Amino acid sequence: MIIQFSLKSEFPKGIEIPQNITPPADQVFKFYLVVSGYCWYRCVNKTWLFVESCALFFNHEEVISCYPRSPSASTFKNIDVPDGTISIGVKSIIPDYDSSQLITTAIVSILKPDVNDIPYGLGKTSNNTEKGALEDVTYVVRPKTKGGYYPTVPCGNDQYPDGFVYSCPFIVYNLFYHPKKVRRRSSRQQ
């Protein structure tokens, strides 16, 4: 079985993007991936701080159950940012076909009514490297989330002392955007 990024530019059905997390007008939808993983939060001075996320990216939600054969990308920790900063690397895990990777850093977050869900979000990418699906991605939109947000239980107590790491599972949809291609008109000399 060959695993590749599903690069159909068909926007996922049933997804609406809140206006505050819409990429700039010069960006267009490229593809989406469904992300399944865990976020880890550490108790520091009675406050939960984001530490890192570990996740796999799938072409469709239905194939998550086919793990370990079905993911096309994974996260890696951006070591250049302090704990608490939401900045995560994404890299292809199908190197025979795609070696691209990028860093995405949150620039806008919108809290959801369910306090257990990761907020809706808009991330700006940087450090795009190698050839493949992620090489020209400039923005990542997170319009559908389930789970993974900061624990709602207090910490710095007997049950969750300072230094305790709390794990939260999640599933999110990430929509990847890249610059709109400008077609140049060729001038014909006569």
Per-residue model confidence as pLDDT tens for the chain (190 residues): 445 566 556 888 889 999 899 999 999 999 999 999 999 999 999 999 988 889 999 888 888 877 767 888 999 888 887 766 778 899 999 888 899 999 999 999 999 999 999 999 999 999 999 999 999 999 999 999 999 998 999 999 999 999 999 999 999 999 999 998 866 655 554 4
In a domain, 189, yes or no: no
The answer to whether 179 touches 139, Cβ cutoff 8 Å, is no
Say if strands 87-92 and 27-44 run parallel, antiparallel, or are unpaired. Answer: unpaired
| Single-letter code of the amino acid located at 50 | F
Q: How many domains would you assign to the chain?
A: 1
In a domain, 27, yes or no: no
Q: What is the pLDDT of residue 13?
A: 87
In a domain, 187, yes or no: no
In this prediction the pTM is 0.85
Rounded to 10 degrees, the C-alpha dihedral 148/89/31/109 comes to 50
- CB count within 10 Å of CB 125 equals 19
Which letter does DSSP use for residue 67 in this model?
T
In a domain, 62, yes or no: yes
In a domain, 42, yes or no: yes
Measured CA distances, 42 to 49, 105, 165 (Å): 5, 20, 4
Enclosing domain of residue 115? 32-179
Closest CA relative to residue 134, chosen from 64, 46, 33, 43: 33
In a domain, 149, yes or no: yes
In a domain, 13, yes or no: no
Tokens of 158: 């007997």
Whole-angstrom distance, CA of residue 75 vs CA of residue 126: 14
